[in-house]
Amino acid sequence: MKLAGLVLLSAGWCSYLGGVLVMELVWRPVQAHIPPSQTGALCATMGRRYRWMALAALGVTAIGQLIAFGPPGFALAAGWGVLVALIVSMGLFVHPQSHARWAASAAPAQQARARQRRLGAIKVMGALLRIEVAVALLLAASLAPQLAHSPHL
Amino acid sequence: MQVFASYLHLLAVAVYLGGSIAMEFVLGPAQKFIPPAQAQVVGQKSADRFLVLVWTALALFPISGMLLFFAIGAQHTSDFFGHSYGQTLFTMMMLWVVLVVNGTLITFVFRPKLAEKAGAGTTGAAMSDRMKQKELAATWISRITRADLAIALVVVLLGASLSYGNGLL
């Protein structure tokens, strides 16, 4: 049973962390090579998929932790809480705003305001993603000793 | 030392396993929503960058694995490969070799075929032949990537069995 928990914990956490790193180290630099309209289309689809993948991976990690080691300590639980809060806030609030469209018939002032909101959301999204990477890397450091236990030797 | 080695090992597995999942199930399907020419650019640029991460992870596996191995003192056990622990570790090493071979095939055989460009004087038949070769290369890359994902999951299972037991084999 403990082995099952460990596998879930390792696989879930690695899936999550790898996804975050790909978003930051692969996807972000690639955006510079494609037109903004295509970036928008890709971001909209990828954001939806990534959100569910990340939440599922964190859920699997939490289940694995509970099975293998029982309830996590305060630091680990707080770290997970921060990550879930970041993903939910990006998914529910910032990401939809960064793809908001405005009616062509809207007044120029309204269009300008909507454009400003959109640009602001894109900036916030970038900042939140960076915070997510930092928290995930810190959390990995606290998980690593657990995963390299080897008490039998 | 053990904590540092296990952190590096965890990062390498995360980049390989999680990165492959994100590339396969997040970035890949999203490319259908943009024009094929742009999708090709996105695919090529992202694969170029991801392959750097993949090779870094593949290089980190044995380095961090060796550090971990010596940090936990496993090498002092007599008849190491005669026991379940050693056999599990040996299997993990063999699976790493398979991942390296697959990575070499993708990087040096199939991806160059995908990136080949037709010359100005290419005939229709040659062009059609080239397209077929590209499709075949793309199919093989997809197959190998999925096989690598399955192998990486098995490696995680074996690694977990080494952390809190004597291995699975």
For chain A, give every domain's residue range: 2-148
* CA atoms within 13 Å, Cβ hemisphere of A76: 19
Percent of chain A with pLDDT over 70: 95
Mean pLDDT of A4-8: 85
Percent of chain B with pLDDT over 70: 92
Distance CA A2, CA B29 (A): 35
Higher pLDDT, B151 or B117: B151
B6: domain range? 2-163
Mean pLDDT of chain A: 84
Contact A143 B21 (CB under 8 A): no
Nearest to B167 by CA among A147, A150, A64, A11: A150
Does this model's pTM top 0.90? My answer is no
| pLDDT number for residue A46 | 86
| pLDDT number for residue B107 | 92
Residues 36-55 of A with CB under 8 A from B: 38, 41-42, 44-46, 49-50, 53
Residue B56: pLDDT band (50, 70, 90) is very high
Question: In this structure, what token pair is assigned to residue B67?
Answer: 């550090």
Q: Which residues of A touch B2 (CB under 8 A)?
A: 145, 148
Q: Which residues of B touch A38 (CB under 8 A)?
A: 34-35, 38, 42
Contact B19 A18 (CB under 8 A): yes
Domain total in chain B: 1
Higher pLDDT, A91 or A153: A91
Mean pLDDT of chain B: 85
Query: pLDDT for B97-110, tens place per residue?
Result: 999 999 999 999 98
* CA atoms within 13 Å, Cβ hemisphere of B139: 6
> Does the residue B25 lie in any domain?
yes
Contact A148 B14 (CB under 8 A): no
Distance CA A6, CA A63 (A): 10
> Does the residue B127 lie in any domain?
yes
> Does the residue B9 lie in any domain?
yes
> CA-based Rg of chain A, rounded to a whole angstrom?
19
User: Looking at the predicted structure, is the pLDDT value of residue A153 above 50?
Assistant: no
CB-based burial label for A85 (10 Å; 0-12, 13-18, 19+): exposed
3-class DSSP state for residue A44? helix
Contact A22 B31 (CB under 8 A): no
DSSP-derived secondary structure for B19-62:
HHHHIIIIIHHHGGGS-HHHHHHHHHHHHHHHHHHHHHHHHHHH
Contact A14 B13 (CB under 8 A): yes
Higher pLDDT, B34 or A101: B34
Mean pLDDT of A125-147: 85
Picking from A58, A61, A147, A149 by the largest number of B CB atoms within 10 A of its own CB, the best residue to mutate is A147
User: Looking at the predicted structure, is the pLDDT value of residue A150 above 70?
Assistant: no
Which of the residue ranges A129-138, A140-149, B45-54 would you say has the lowest mean pLDDT?
A140-149
CB-nearest to B46 from A19, A30, A143 is A30
Query: pLDDT for A53-81, tens place per residue?
Result: 999 999 999 998 888 888 888 888 888 89
Residues 52-91 of A with CB under 8 A from B: 53, 57, 68
> Does the residue B83 lie in any domain?
yes
> Does the residue B169 lie in any domain?
no
Query: pLDDT for A95-114, tens place per residue?
Result: 887 777 777 777 888 888 88
Residue B88: pLDDT band (50, 70, 90) is confident
Evaluate whether B26 touches A53 at the Cβ level (below 8 Å). Answer: yes
Picking from A14, A51, A53, A61 by the largest number of B CB atoms within 10 A of its own CB, the best residue to mutate is A14
Q: Which residues of B touch A132 (CB under 8 A)?
A: none
Higher pLDDT, B27 or B166: B27
